Structure 1
Amino acid sequence: MSLTAVEQLPELDAQTLRIVGAIAEHGSITAAADALGLSQPAVSQHLRRAEQRLGLALAERIGRSVRLTEAGEVLARHARTITNAFDAAAGELAELSGLRAGRVRLAGFPTASSTVVPKLVKQLAATHPGLSVSYLEAEPPEAVEAVRSGAVDVAITFSYPGDRVDPHQESAQGLSVDSLWQDEMLVALPSSHPAAAHHRVPIDELSSETWIAGCPRCRGHLLQVTESAGFTPTIAYETDNFSAVLGMADAGIGIALVPTLALASTRVPEGIVLRPTARGDSRTIHVVTTEGASRVPAVSATLGALHSLDLARLSLEDAATPA
């Protein structure tokens, strides 16, 4: 059958199929109405309207009984299969709407993998046990691209003020970017260091220090912070491993600027102190989705769970932070 021929067919609806199927099964309009939980006049009226719309008689009244016409038999033959499919689809939509089923694909940066993501997945499992969650670890630029390409539904990302390559600007155009919270940056230095006496450390007092740098974007932020303090840092060590960063600082071979969130899954050595900077440096934690994705029940539930997490406590609640 050609597409033109299909487009010219009168529109069928699920209720007509249910009614014709019930008449075929029960033998009368009255019995069909009882089986469907409808009144007999309502079934008769719907049948008449369907016949007018289709231009075909579906049933013949013979005395007090009714008999399906050839057209009615055609519909009855397909009614069970089609209405079962409608019921199955409605059931699946109801499951999704109530989040008794569905899936969400997450992406997040490495530090989030051991802090935000476990708490998020645990909360979703408790509130929506039928929701399937998968996770991809990716740095912010790759995570943003994964949302754009459709590889993931929700990405947890971060950005630094003045970031020269901020993935939440041009590369995130057309996507939805929502800020979750500010993750304060802390200076990690030996407790014997003179700057440890400060409640907040002036960065310009650290110009002669040897520094430990992290990921490329973290290194870029360190350079931006020290540049605004009037010096270029001497960076002798580079590692993405925050346990290694703190170990090096504890050994007295360098100091570092670390995000507070990284401490939630990292043991802080007893000989290390962590101090915020005098100017209150921080990075922003974001959640990225496609525009309108919040209308998808699984995504909406995930966003709601993210916003309801006690993010202010995530950073230090598991860290053995010295006073």
Structure 2
Amino acid sequence: MFDSRHIRTFHAVVDVGTYSGAAALLGYTQPAVTQQMKALERSLGSPLFVRVGRRMRLTEAGETLARHAESILESLSVAEEQVTAIARLRSGTVRLCGFPSANATLVPETLAELAAGHPGIRVDLLDDEPPDSLTRLARGECDVTLAFTYPRPAETVPDDVVEIPLLEDQLTVLMPVGHPQARRRAVRLADFAGERWIVGCARCRTNFLHECAESGFAPDIAFTTDDGLVTQSLVAEGLGVAVVPSLVLSFLRLDRVAGRALQPALRRRISAYVLREHLRIPATALVVDTVREVAERRVGC
């Protein structure tokens, strides 16, 4: 195994031809240069120089190492520059996995802030629902996961994963604007017991069925889709109603649907998840801090 200091000293000796000259060039003492060259020779198991008069002549092993020394030092220099850039947030790549409504709201704002303040940071965006997104985090397929949980059932986080709560997202009922319940500011789930329903991902469906049972009815589920725009279009055509998070309301694109808050209030918790050790990586910590700031502003609105 090469010691980079020894390679730099060897390269200097080759350039100037003497230990004393290399010592003056590098700011070392001559004995220090001598000791470093002896250590390098021991690690290689071969002499690198023979003395001819006052100058040092390379052995065959020395000539071989000399042919590679400059490229080794250049590679080390490039590596040092790249690592320094990452540490100082001039560059770096973070894989961010989010669920659809977060990727349509929190994530674009986060990426815009990162682009403005840290243009060298690249974020690769992935799309997945929990719990699959958390599985991808555990497998190392992403660095940061945005996911949501419901109060029931209670979920635990593995010891090596850090959960950073972002916001509480209130659930609302999405309905056509002409629906009788659209005249009210808040609605009860039981008010829609006779409706056809559009539901989302498996985790949302489980929570929805639980809340319907608590309200005393079994819903007629007509459609299942994870796509918020598809849900809006189905509702706009009068094909059903849906329980959606407030994040979805922030990107409504149809003027034929209305969202009304549920009473009593139902919420889901949105959090960022990251492996504990990854918080030591500057770019990953920056992404987590930025998405937290974006979420805090939304809460304050």
TM-score (normalizing by structure 2) = 0.79
Give SS of 2:131's match: helix
Give the one of 213, 217, 231 matched to 2:198.
213
- Cα contact 1:246–1:269 (8 A) shared by 2: no
* 1:67 corresponding residue in structure 2: 56
* Further displaced range: 211-220 or 234-243: 234-243
User: 1:21 and 1:236 mapped to 2: Cα distance?
Assistant: 75
* 2:287 corresponding residue in structure 1: 302
Structure with more contact order per residue of length (Cα contacts < 8 Å, sep ≥ 6) = 2
User: 1:66 and 1:264 mapped to 2: Cα distance?
Assistant: 77
User: 2:103 and 2:36 mapped to 1: Cα distance?
Assistant: 59
* 2:253 corresponding residue in structure 1: 267
1:83 aligned partner, one-letter code: L
1:302: Cα distance to partner? 1.9
1:210: Cα distance to partner? 0.9
1:113: Cα distance to partner? 2.7
Gapped regions of structure 2 (runs ≥ 5): none
1:23 aligned partner, one-letter code: V
Give the one of 123, 126, 130 matched to 1:140.
130
1:177: Cα distance to partner? 3.6
Q: Identify if the C-alpha distance between structure 1 residues 69 and 235 changes in structure 2 by more than 3 Å, giving closer, same or farther.
A: closer
Q: Identify if the C-alpha distance between structure 1 residues 191 and 16 changes in structure 2 by more than 3 Å, giving closer, same or farther.
A: same
Give SS of 2:56's match: strand
User: 1:240 and 1:54 mapped to 2: Cα distance?
Assistant: 65
Give the one of 96, 121, 145 matched to 1:106.
96
* 1:203 corresponding residue in structure 2: 189
Give the one of 230, 233, 257 matched to 2:216.
230
1:22: Cα distance to partner? 0.8
TM-score (normalizing by structure 1) = 0.74
Q: Do residues 79 (structure 1) and 69 (structure 2) align? A: yes
Query: Residues 119-145 of structure 1: CA distance to partner in whole angstroms, max 9, x if unpaired?
Result: 222222222222333222222233223
* 1:5 corresponding residue in structure 2: none
Gapped regions of structure 1 (runs ≥ 5): 1-10, 318-323
User: 2:141 and 2:128 mapped to 1: Cα distance?
Assistant: 12
1:266 aligned partner, one-letter code: L
User: 2:132 and 2:115 mapped to 1: Cα distance?
Assistant: 26
1:45 aligned partner, one-letter code: A
The alignment-based identity, stated in percent, is: 27
Give the one of 51, 54, 68 matched to 2:38.
51
Within a 5 Å distance, the mapping from 1:116-131 to structure 2 comes to: 116-131=106-121
Query: Residues 14-33 of structure 1: CA distance to partner in whole angstroms, max 9, x if unpaired?
Result: 11221221122123445434
Q: Identify if the C-alpha distance between structure 1 residues 241 and 96 changes in structure 2 by more than 3 Å, giving closer, same or farther.
A: closer
Q: Do residues 35 (structure 1) and 25 (structure 2) align? A: yes
Query: Residues 73-115 of structure 1: CA distance to partner in whole angstroms, max 9, x if unpaired?
Result: 6654543232222222212211222233332222222222322
Give SS of 2:119's match: coil
User: 2:100 and 2:187 mapped to 1: Cα distance?
Assistant: 27
* 2:12 corresponding residue in structure 1: 22
Q: Identify if the C-alpha distance between structure 1 residues 57 and 45 changes in structure 2 by more than 3 Å, giving closer, same or farther.
A: farther
